[in-house]
Chain A
Amino acid sequence: MSLAEKISDLDTFLTYSVVLEEEAADRHDELADMMEVHNNPEVAATFRKLAHYSRLHAREIRDRSSGRSLRVIAPWDFEWEGMEGPETGDISDVNYLMSTGHALKIAMGNEQRAHDFYFEISKGSPDPAVRALAAEFAEEEKEHLELLEKWLEKHPESDEDMRWDPDPAHMPE
């Protein structure tokens, strides 16, 4: 049975959605912190902004869930396709000398996976109310993706332009 088929009621769907967005916000903040600590203020600001947007989205979903009883699911019992939620960027994808363009590409990958997650549910859930809400969320993720594409146009620089550190951590002779 696919995950979309298993998400057969609104409470479960909203639980997945809230966790997806909140974990995405937390990860963006975590990545922003890493960049701040490693003196990459531009990328730090980008991740911080992305965290802000994820948090807004999470709050919106929490508001829509008010009065409902969200499920309590252990982190490892979520049946995400990957190891973490679809919008949670992979910690191992970042580097202290990364560019804003790279950060935005990571964010686009996250939004694309979130879109695909909601889209699958909009097609496969047995509950029509879940399908309708998932279609709405999928549409929103698509809009985020378009916004990120525009944002990325302003950042043609690549990581290669950033890869210079006069005092790198690793200096094998």
Chain B
Amino acid sequence: MDQAAQQIALTPKDFKSALKPVWCPGCGDFAVLNAITKALAFMGLPREEVALISGIGCSSRIAAYTSVYGFHGVHGRALALASGLKAARGDLTVLVAGGDGDGLSIGGNHFIHACRRNMDMTYIIMDNEVYGMTKGQASPTTAPDWADSKLTPHGTGIRPFQPAGLALTAGASFIARGFTGDPNGLAKILVAAIGHKGFSFVQALSPCPTFRPEQMLWKHHVKAFDQEISSNPVEAAQRIQADDGMSTGIIYQNERPVFRPGTGVDNGMGSIESEFTI
């Protein structure tokens, strides 16, 4: 409760835009939006000092539904855009969000390098183990035997990625998993992730009732990790490997040098504007 004293005048609703989400009723992405807005309100961040960058997909629409600066970008390129923004405007709190397809298929290369680079930003993968926007194809987190898409009538037969494990190997300095069925728990994780100095990765298990209706049962399987946050990558790796992917909480946190391109150089707007002076 002590931390709560930081609370300020802006409410979570103030961090929402006037646009009504077009997500299917029941979609987990609504809860991610609620968790982000609760986290930002709790942290008392001025809206003009926050930017939310996304790629393409149902989940990536989230940028339009908040009242902070946003950029609904190019498929798989949210992290590239966000890195550019952070390089130019290191003072901004940069959040990045998108789906498992956006971040782990087409954007997979950007993901591992963003982890490695360790720029100070928070990346949320809204993981529904499917491409929702394009009507239900398998993604890199889909189980190999999921056969409900006509593109993969017998399943993909391919082992899925473990996003947390991938992030750890690639060098992310903060790794957590949350669940949309517990939006307040997810908001708490986001507060820690945003507060972390470096690249923080949050996998938000976010069911897609339309193409993966069976995910509505996740709420009966998700549980909290029973161990404390680890700063030891070997321990964290063991923890991720031993888990069924349904445990939530902060898995790993370890401060390491943050990549700040242009540090020491005047990156203020003045110098950018002067380049355009004729």
Q: Which residues of A contact B (CB under 8 A)?
A: 26, 30-31, 33-38, 71-78, 83-84, 90-96, 98, 169-170, 172-173
Is the CB–CB distance between A78 and B26 below 8 Å? no
Is the CB–CB distance between A75 and B187 below 8 Å? yes
Is the CB–CB distance between B150 and A172 below 8 Å? yes
Name the residue on A nearest B147 (C-beta): A172
Residues from 16 to 63 in B contacting A, C-beta threshold 8 Å: 20-28, 30-31, 38, 42
B207 at interface (Cβ–Cβ under 8 A)? Answer: yes
B225 at interface (Cβ–Cβ under 8 A)? Answer: no
Give chain A's interface secondary structure class.
loop
Is the CB–CB distance between B184 and A84 below 8 Å? yes
Is the CB–CB distance between B30 and A30 below 8 Å? yes
Is the CB–CB distance between B13 and A26 below 8 Å? yes
B223 at interface (Cβ–Cβ under 8 A)? Answer: no
Q: How large is the interface on B (under 10, 10 to 19, 20 to 34, 35 or more residues)?
A: 35 or more
Return the contact of B25 from the options A38, A75, A84, A170 (Cβ within 8 A): A38
With A36-B20, A74-B188 given, can you name 8 additional A-B contacts, CB distance below 8 Å?
A33-B20, A74-B4, A90-B181, A92-B219, A96-B25, A170-B210, A170-B211, A172-B150
Chain A contacts for B24, CB-based, 8 A: 38, 96, 169
Chain B contacts for A172, CB-based, 8 A: 136, 148-150
- Report how far A47 CA is from B185 CA in the complex, Å: 26
B216 at interface (Cβ–Cβ under 8 A)? Answer: yes
Name the residue on B nearest A26 (C-beta): B13
Is the CB–CB distance between A92 and B28 below 8 Å? yes
Chain A contacts for B188, CB-based, 8 A: 74-76
Please give the distance in Å from B67's CB to the nearest CB on chain A: 16
Is the CB–CB distance between B30 and A83 below 8 Å? no
Chain B contacts for A26, CB-based, 8 A: 13
Please give the distance in Å from A94's CB to the nearest CB on chain B: 5
Is the CB–CB distance between A95 and B184 below 8 Å? no
With A91-B31, A93-B26 known as contacts, the answer to whether A76 contacts B20 (CB < 8 A) is no
Max count, chain B CB within 10 A of own CB: residue among A36, A78, A172: A172
Contact with A along B157-178 (1 / 0, CB 8 A): 0000000000000000000000
B221 at interface (Cβ–Cβ under 8 A)? Answer: no
